[in-house]
Amino acid sequence: MKTQNMSRRHMLAQTACVVAGLSLTSSCSVLTSRRAPAGFKLGACDWTLGENCKPESFDVAQRIGLDGVQVDFGRSENELPLFDAERQQAILQRADDHGLQVASLAMGVLNSIPYKSDPRAERWVDQAIDVARTMGTDIILLAFFGNGDLLEDPKGIDTTVSRLKNIASKAEKANVTLAIESWLSGAQHLSILDRVGSSAVKVYYDVGNSHHKGYDIYQETRDLGDRVCQFHAKDYDDLYGKGSIDFPRVREAMDAVGYRGWLVMEGIKMPLGREESCRYDAEYLRTVFPRTIT
């Protein structure tokens, strides 16, 4: 084979054909039991694009060919940058200018100011629900890494469950989902969701993080089912399609539970430079997770 003369787009197109063949059977059976949009939307975290909590993230997303951006609330010791109404409107305007969407919001600040222990974090999550409504999005990622890590912390989990119970009714009324992303396993996440007992609290599943921890991401996706509200695409080892995450198998697992929606890139490896690496990752993911599925 003359693979050395094969263009990147041609190789990606070949991958698409393979994936389509793998997925047809599971897709057909799923769509009869659960109605879902026709395909996938592809976004990226604004911090991955190098523009944390800035309208300029949508400029980069447009150049790469994405459908939208996951917008972070930014960092502060007191009032978070995205609580500012002018910043919210500036971000929405830039998204509209490019015909893009806010895929979801994210509270990365909770990694340093933990939801499980800091009263500021509890207040911020309450305020964030109002921001989500204003910005027309229905998912807020709550991060539990760093100082906020829940692994081996049963007391922290208990406090988190209690606080989520307190805020869940407001989220339900606002039609906003609070999405937990952490180092916990799928089963541990399900335990938290069951204890909270609210449809407004779900899992934000990061395939790279969970694989990095040694979990079976393909089975966990099936086990979590519709209790995952959105996914992060990530690979700790290389550009997408070259590393350790088998994205066609991820797609098969999504087909098995009927997931259609956003796949948000959180890039780790950027050997081609930030923008070109994100473009490469996006082009690869489009072959596996197309906008439309016939």
Of 134, 74, 143, 64, which Cα lies nearest the Cα of 102? 134
Q: Above pLDDT 70, what percent of the chain?
A: 87
Buried b (16+ CB within 10 A) or exposed e, 276-288: ebbbbbbbbbbbb
- CATH of segment(s) 37-288: 3.20.20.150
292 Cα distance to chain centroid = 19
DSSP of 214-242: T--HHHHHHHHGGGEEEEEE--SSSSTTT
11 has a pLDDT exceeding 50: no
The average pLDDT across 124-134 equals 98
**DSSP of 109-124:** GGGTS-TTT-HHHHHH
Q: How confident is the model at residue 25 (pLDDT cuts 50, 70, 90)?
A: very low
Query: 12 falls in which pLDDT band (50, 70, 90)?
Result: very low
The per-residue pLDDT of the chain, averaged, comes to 90
pLDDT greater than 50 at residue 3: no
- CA 226, CA 23: separation in Å to the nearest integer? 19
pTM of the model: 0.87
* pLDDT over 70 (residue 94): yes
Positive or negative CA dihedral for 203, 206, 209, 214?
positive
- Residue 38 is predicted with a pLDDT of 74
Q: Where are the domains of the chain?
A: 37-288
Higher pLDDT, 147 or 78: 147
CB 159 within 8 A of CB 117: yes
Read off the pLDDT of each residue in 136-155 and give the average, rounded to a whole number: 98
